[in-house]
Chains A and B, each alone.
Chain A
């Protein structure tokens, strides 16, 4: 039988654990690091039943991500991110009723789409004794889309650094100028803006468990439709709210940690969604870790979703056959291997995602014929120096 800790042991441990060199206080990254990650995202081809004519191939995207992080003096850190994506494939153009009355998809671009996107962002953060504050600006460009964004966030620690309150603000301003606008009678030039505010609270519950809860509110306005769809007309404003909770628990005997996340989302398009995420971080050796991951997602349909486009409907009335606005459920599973040596670390991840209206937790009045299945592989390398 272990007797309870003495009053002196509790008092002296409490004041010692509050010392900044011992408590893992807010501090800029300790070293500079350079990282590179390549990912390949590949959507499964559609079937002839779904697409009676034309292309079956969907999106294939290669993503290259670079990040440089460096401490600046004792209290600041600099973050530089650069991404480049190459995408090719085709996306659903419009939906019609097939011979049996079921919806079928007509894909865009007989020769498919080829596009690339580049993005850079620059951020600076200050780390004080009780928290940190920082901001970033970013710019992204592709041949038919430009986005500029700015973000700021600050965290403050309370309660001997066991509680952290974080407030984040961001704003983006995007321009859309669809290609071949004249030929396909698409909009020439449109804009959209988004602003978001988020508040999160994280709490260390005990030495092996921590909890985080967050609420975010986003307002979008401007052109929110898909200019490449034949018949796509969405409201010019959208308000989104998301509530997330995360619990992390370290199991000492198993030398592994469980992270579970639940997120509830709703917007005034009528979409509500649940996301449940489970990850297990298993230490195999001191420098090798395996991380299996499982996720369930389900959403309800937008109020104006239709799985067969109604070309007689005036454009002033909202309607869209975008599969991302339909009711469905999705299950994804993944596995990561993480290893490190000296200042190097590498992460290899494989993920498989399957969406299906049968997995939906919500009523599916009109199933979409265009739900995606995809596989994603990524390899990341980080060097700290």
Chain B
């Protein structure tokens, strides 16, 4: 009954997205897809950094404001998850580290002065955010960026919503962040190819996803090499300098949000620490290290 598999491709959250659903009725598949796209649009317009009218921009404009800003439950829970990421990464995954982009410009391959970076470091630190009940008091000039959390959360949200709308089999893909809704017919898992960091036409590995989510993080898209040294776009919030750990990692977990947090944190850790930490989690993963070697327990035909 593979004819019942409906595809819909669209752009959202600055990337290519795809929804695949097994649905017998074409009319209800269209209605479901429209409903799911509405939801991803809602999350995008609420949390994008690129629009002044987003709630995230409003939060960032409140920095330095004595009265603070009232935060709704959904955003509060995103902050709580961000705190959990901050704690589990010993401060490496920090949603306040986005200010470093003010001096790092990866498209112009410019290396900032040490003094410029030092001026920004006091503006970084999740623990500097103050809360009074549901009101956030953010010190002046600080900035929040939910990158590494919101797109993954959106993939899980769409999968949950699809399940509540009666979908039993489907796959959500928001630019490489995947959330599965059940398996394909006959309990076949969803095959997911992981792009090779150095050649987007090749596959580094592939996963078989039956449930839960898969997320990837890598420095292949926005890094540069200058005078023989590689500058990753993933920045260490403690020093302001690029991390020099893994080149790319993909993780599968019960939720895409969890997989994404593991992948992001692993990229920020020193190489061996990252591999040990991922191994300790017991989750399937595959990585490419600084030397271009591919490894990980998810290397061949891993299933989740």
Contacts and interface: CB of A to CB of B under 8 A. Distances in A.
Contacts of B156: 16, 19, 21-22
A12 B89 CA distance: 11
Contact of B153 (A19, A129, A287): A19
Given A13-B255, A19-B156, A22-B156, A342 B164 contact: no
A22 B160 contact: yes
Interface string B46-87: 000000000000000000000000001110011011011101
A30 interface: yes
A119 B23 CA distance: 37
Given A30-B165, A342-B23, A15 B74 contact: no
A17 B160 contact: no
Interface stretch (B100-108, B232-240, B256-264, B291-299): B256-264
B282 A21 contact: no
B168 A286 contact: yes
B28 interface: yes
A14 B87 CA distance: 13
Contacts of B283: 9
A19 B161 contact: no
Contact of A11 (B23, B88, B168): B88
Given A130-B73, A341-B25, A21 B153 contact: yes
A100 interface: no
Interface residues of B, number: 46
Nearest to A20: B74
Interface string A107-120: 00000000000000
B27 interface: yes
B281 A9 contact: yes
A363 interface: no
Contacts of B282: 2-3, 5-6, 9
B255 A16 contact: yes
Nearest to A17: B255
Given A20-B77, A21-B153, A30-B161, A15 B281 contact: no
B178 to A, nearest CB: 15
Given A24-B160, A286-B169, A18 B28 contact: no
Interface in A1-50: 2-3, 5-9, 11-22, 24, 30-31
Contacts of A60: none
A12 B282 CA distance: 14
A9 B73 contact: no
Interface range for A:
20 to 34
Nearest to A385: B31
B216 interface: no
B167 to A, nearest CB: 10
Contacts of B72: 129
Interface string B143-172: 000000000011011001100111011000
B84 A15 contact: yes
A19 B27 contact: no
B218 to A, nearest CB: 20
Given A13-B254, A341-B24, A19 B81 contact: yes
Contacts of A385: 31
Most A Cβ at <10 Å: residue of B35, B77, B169, B265: B77
A340 interface: yes
Contacts of A286: 168-169, 182
B277 interface: yes
A101 interface: no
Given A5-B282, A12-B85, A129-B73, A24 B24 contact: no
Most B Cβ at <10 Å: residue of A5, A6, A340: A6
B159 to A, nearest CB: 9
A22 B168 contact: no
A248 B98 CA distance: 46
Interface in B239-259: 253-255, 257-258
Nearest to B280: A6
Interface string B286-304: 0000000000000000000
B25 A342 contact: yes
B28 A15 contact: no
A291 to B, nearest CB: 18
A16 B215 CA distance: 14
A16 B23 contact: no
Contact of B257 (A7, A16, A24): A16
A32 to B, nearest CB: 11
24 contacts: A5-B282, A6-B280, A6-B281, A8-B88, A11-B87, A12-B88, A12-B261, A12-B262, A15-B77, A15-B83, A16-B156, A16-B258, A18-B77, A20-B77, A21-B43, A21-B74, A21-B153, A21-B156, A21-B157, A21-B160, A22-B156, A30-B165, A31-B165, A340-B166
Given A7-B88, A8-B262, 19 more contacts: A5-B282, A11-B84, A11-B87, A12-B81, A15-B80, A15-B81, A15-B85, A16-B81, A16-B156, A19-B74, A21-B153, A21-B161, A22-B156, A24-B160, A24-B164, A30-B35, A30-B161, A343-B31, A343-B166
Interface of A: 2-3, 5-9, 11-22, 24, 30-31, 129-130, 286-287, 340-343, 384-385
9 smallest beta-carbon distances between A and B, as pairs: A21-B157, A342-B25, A129-B73, A15-B84, A15-B81, A342-B28, A16-B257, A286-B168, A8-B88
Interface of B: 23-25, 27-28, 31, 35, 39, 43, 72-74, 77-78, 80-81, 83-85, 87-88, 153-154, 156-157, 160-161, 164-166, 168-169, 182, 253-255, 257-258, 261-262, 265, 277, 280-283
